[in-house]
Each structure stands twice: as C-alpha cells, then as structure tokens.
C-alpha cells in the first residue's frame, strides 16, 4: 500500500517485489486480499498494474491491518480477568491510533 501511495500511476507486482526485495508470490497473496477488501484496483495488460481504489488520505492504517490480519483477543479465563481486560484496553488504544492514521500520513503525502 505504501508503494502504491508513493508512486503515482499503476504499479506492477514485479515492481513492488523488486523495490521491497520480496517474493512475487507473497506480494500476489497480499494484493489479492487488498483487492478483495476494496483497497486496490487492477488493470490488465502490458501497461497494467495496481492503483489505490481510494485516495491515500481516505484509507486508514487500521482498515489495512484489519483486512490483512484480523484483531486478536485472548480467550477470557474465569480465574484471571485482569490480564485479558488490560490486553483489551491496550488493543483498543492501538486500534484507535491506527484508525486515526491514514496511508497519506505514513507516506507524508496529504491533500491540501
């Protein structure tokens, strides 16, 4: 998502893989999830690739993380409620922060 937000126009999986030093198959899996989640648009062909489906300042980091990795909460144990409650508070604060942070913030591009 950062690659797409940084580079105007279409970006191919090959370009992302080369720039990030990652396996193309791995990138394909992530891109498929992000496309299904409505974050990316794809264009086929020689000049094809992927673009953001919405402006970077309208996509939150929280949305992206939820799309790729659902939030985790440990099961509550009747004998120890304090730890799960504390963990829930930390998780809630983390999600609130991620939901305020846009992709544009991350790449330093914000629409005026």
Inside any domain, residue 23: yes
Does residue 90 fall inside a structural domain? yes
What CATH number is attached to the domain comprising 94? 1.10.10.10
Q: How confident is the model at residue 80 (pLDDT cuts 50, 70, 90)?
A: low
Measuring CA to CA, which residue among 16, 15, 48, 45 is closest to residue 30? 16
Question: What are the pLDDT digits (tens) for 35-72?
Answer: 999 999 999 988 889 999 999 999 999 999 989 986 55
- How far, CA to CA in Å, does 3 sit from each of 49, 59, 63, 85? 12, 14, 17, 37
Burial 20-57 (b: 16+ CB within 10 A, else e): eeeeeeebeebbeebeeeebbeeeeeeeebbebbeebe
pTM: 0.78
**DSSP class of 51:** E
Residue 112 counted as domain residue: no
Mean pLDDT of the chain: 86
Number of domains in the chain: 1
For residue 111, what pLDDT band results from cuts at 50, 70 and 90? low
């Amino acid at each position: 998502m950062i690659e797409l937000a940084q580079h105007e126009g279409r970006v191919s999986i090959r370009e992302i893989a080369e720039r990030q030093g990652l396996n193309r198959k791995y990138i394909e899996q992530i891109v498929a999830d992000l496309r299904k989640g409505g974050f990316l648009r794809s264009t086929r062909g020689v000049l094809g690739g992927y673009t953001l489906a919405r402006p970077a300042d309208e996509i939150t980091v929280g949305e992206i993380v939820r799309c790729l990795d659902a939030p985790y909460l440990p099961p509550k144990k009747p004998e120890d409620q304090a730890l799960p409650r504390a963990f829930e508070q930390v998780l809630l604060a983390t999600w609130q922060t991620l939901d305020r942070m846009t992709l544009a913030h991350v790449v330093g591009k914000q629409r005026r």
